[in-house]
Amino acid sequence: MRRMDELPAEQRAEILARRLERSERALRETENALEERMKALDRANRGLRLRETELAHNLAIESALLLGALATAKMVTIYGERARGFSFSDGAAALLGLPDHAEVTMQTLLDVIHPLDRARIANAGREFFAEREPGVAHAYQHRIVRRANGEIRWLSWSIRRERSTRIRPAYVLGAVREITEERRNRRQVRALQLRAERRVAELNRLQAELAKAKDKTDRTLARRQQFITEMAHAIRTPMGGLTGGVELLGLKLAQGDPDLAVVRQSLGELDEIASRLLENAGTDVEHAADLTPKPLPTPIDAVSRGEDMQETPRVLLAEDTESNRYVIERMLEEMGCDVQTVENGAAAVDAVRRGEFDVILMDVMMPIMSGEQATQAIRNLPGPAARTPVIGITAHSLQEERERLLSSGMTACMAKPVRREALESAIRTAMLGGGEAAGEQARFDHQLLRHTFEQLPGAYRSRMRDAAKKDITRYAKDALAAIAAGDDAALSRAAHSLNGVALNVGAVGIVEELAHYREAAGKISPERFRAEVAACLLAFDDLYEALIDSV
């Protein structure tokens, strides 16, 4: 092949012309391809703006204070080459605050940059071309000042540069959008978050203060309740002596009788203690009502001196007050009982351990060991002694205290002052089950049972009995089915219904056995609960006949 310089001039010119034509054609093709790419980018940009507009309109703003109405995002693309400079897509003029058809150049953009950001952005630009890694998008933010109205807006850039290749020169591709509203919204959101955090902290502080105040109030109420309980006991103790003395004096009214001295002494004590109670308890009508003795239950029958008792009941009386002990002992002797007396709970436990009794009368508030503690100790004794019926004698006659005493193991409760009729009724009903009253037999609070049925007209009592038995059977089956299925929610529902019916008729054994099973978290067999339900249903009719029909 001949070299170029060896060819004639005309031939060399023709070759060079063909080469130039090919180069121009390649350049035009490249320009056309680039133009098509720019158009594609522009179309993508417009599609993106449409999607962002649709998103902004469809977004449900959760709080008007947080975001207001989200403005449609505006985005412009930029493309640049060293030889051809930079070109901006449609919308650049509007983004910079220029007339719609104004030409946007890089100089135009530099001119509108906020003076406080120009040096920073200039340095960032030099660093971008000199040091930043090609092919990686870099983000920048700066302010601009719109020429039309001097308004300051924020722009966010995402821009990258690509190195030149064999088929195309180096170029820069970027996208810019306005973020003024977005920044404002973020600040508002953050401000509201801070306000919410402060509000939560304030609520937590107030909650802590409320908890402290509640705790203080509870302690105060507990101390007040303790005081009223002690005062009630102090009042009703001499009142018991007074009431019993009056009953005894009804049998012998001779002057100088020691029974009359008991009444006079109790009257003096009652007057002094009542004055102290009024001074310290104030005018709390609700608590004062709690101290009022409740209506006494009707005795089973009018039998006196124990005529219908087939054998002499052996009764242990635990009472720390001498006057009360004297009066109750005389009442029991009048009813034909064999009485042994002790002065505190510990002595009562020791007496039960050494002897056999048919019934125990247990004062609740005693020194050394209270009546409640003594009952629990008796229930823990071995053999039949643990099943001896225990009748609690309390000064406070509140339902919550009654439930607590019954849960400690007492068979029944009665309130001071003790009257002969109520005492006889309590002993006779406690002995209905014999020595097994607190053991394998159904456990009833007879006073609760009497109270429920005596409130009803006579024609409705038998219906109430049958309905109660039916409800106990149904809810107990539901509870046992829930236990078998391991369904805690169903067990809670059945227990709630069963406890309501059982407590209404005094079937405290069912409530206690179910509570015992649930406290053990299912780790014990439910057979004790099943047996208690069966015993309750078997004993219900006999107990109803003895306590209600015989009245």
Tens digit of pLDDT for each residue in 10-23?
887 888 888 888 88
Q: Are 393 and 414 in contact (CB under 8 A)?
A: yes
Per residue in 482-533, pLDDT (tens digit) is: 999 989 899 999 999 998 888 888 888 898 888 888 888 878 888 888 888 8
Per residue in 400-453, pLDDT (tens digit) is: 677 778 778 887 788 777 777 778 877 776 665 444 433 445 678 887 888 888
Cα angle 339-293-413, degrees, rounded to a multiple of 5? 45
Rounded to two decimals, the pTM is: 0.39
Distance CA 168, CA 156 (A): 28
Helix, strand, coil in percent for the chain, rounding step 5: 60, 10, 30
- Tell me phi and psi for residue 437, to 5 degrees: -60, -35
CA torsion through residues 386, 390, 395, 399, sign: positive
The stretches of 298-363 forming alpha helices (DSSP H) are 322-334, 345-354
- Tell me phi and psi for residue 303, to 5 degrees: -70, 130
Domain extent listing, the chain: 34-187, 442-551
**DSSP code for 382:** S
pLDDT attached to residue 438: 39
Distance CA 283, CA 269 (A): 22
Distance CA 263, CA 268 (A): 9
Per residue in 270-325, pLDDT (tens digit) is: 656 655 564 555 444 333 333 333 333 333 333 333 444 546 889 999 998 888 88
Instruction: Put the strands of the sheet holding 75-81 in their side by side order.
Output: 85-88, 75-81, 171-178, 152-162, 138-145
Q: Given pLDDT bands bounded at 50, 70 and 90, which one contains residue 343?
A: very high
Measured CA to CA in angstroms, residue 381 lies from 327, 350, 353, 390 at distances of 30, 10, 7, 14
- Asked whether the predicted pLDDT for residue 258 surpasses 80, the reply is no
Distance CA 326, CA 341 (A): 9
Any bridge partners for residue 87, and if so which? Answer: 79
Structure tokens at 13: 């010119």
Q: Among 1.20.58.340, 3.30.413.10, 3.30.450.20, 3.30.930.10, what is the CATH number of 34-187?
A: 3.30.450.20
Per residue in 129-167, pLDDT (tens digit) is: 888 888 899 999 999 998 778 899 999 999 998 888 888
